[in-house]
Amino acid sequence: MSDQQRVVYVVSDSVGETAELVVRAASSQFNGGDIEIRRIPYVTDTETIEEVVQAAKEENALIAFTLVVPELQQRLIDEATEKQVIYVDIMGPMIDGMASLYKHVPKHKPGLIHKLDEDYFRKVEAIEFAVKYDDGKDPRGLLNADVILIGVSRTSKTPLSMYLAHKRYKVANVPLVPEVEPPDELFQVPPYHIIGLTIDPKQLNSIRMERLKSLGLNSEANYASMERILEELDYAERVMRRLRCTMINVSKKAVEETANLILDILRKRGLIR
């Protein structure tokens, strides 16, 4: 089988993402990870297990599984042992270790890691919202956002949007550029929903120069010139004052720190809990 692509069956009583990630990480250590992964998700019966083991035997394949129901685990192990199929229990040893740590038995309930409850769906919806309305792509989204971030380029608008989206808040962001008039929708939104991001000119100059270098461009381009930066910041401040929105200086602040400031502001305004 030296010239044939290796096959791994990923068997799970949930989605099977965990097992597939582990298989791919391990296979990358062998000739660049040339492997075919066949995921068998939501396994709840022994018949499916028997079929997969038989298929793995015929193809000389390996089985990696994340079955948390003991009866299904044991059936796969018994079948694989009988048919001399190589298998790897990915979750079992970790669950056993956790059982010793917590001093009680696990729930043995499939899919808890991706429990599709209301909270999960809100997070997915918020992330999709942030992606759709990132960088002023569609100003119509501004009217439905929990919070709108505005500022010049490289003031962490997108990272902040994604961070807050993972906290289940719908965030849109709009870049402020002197040559482009802000969308009308921005002026239709109550100012307490808008956060203006400002930054020290010298820090922005440094950030933009590094950005240009990473793109292989000339660091002396107008994008990173101090004259251009001062013009943009002055314009952005005028827009923010027109909007009467709260302004946060993000200089020397990590994304998490700025995000927590924004969340505190929204809580005090009663916009979030």
CB atoms < 10 A from the CB of 258, how many? 22
CB-count burial class (<10 Å; 0-12, 13-18, 19+) for 13: buried
Name residues whose C-beta falls within 8 Å of residue 126's C-beta, 6 or more positions apart in sequence.
164, 165, 166, 167, 168, 169, 170, 171
The reply to whether 152 sits in an annotated binding site is yes
Displacement of CA 174 from its chain's centroid (Å): 21
The reply to whether 216 sits in an annotated binding site is no
The reply to whether 81 sits in an annotated binding site is no
The reply to whether 157 sits in an annotated binding site is yes
The reply to whether 161 sits in an annotated binding site is no
Binding site listing for ADP: 151-158
Q: Which residues are documented as binding site?
A: 151-158
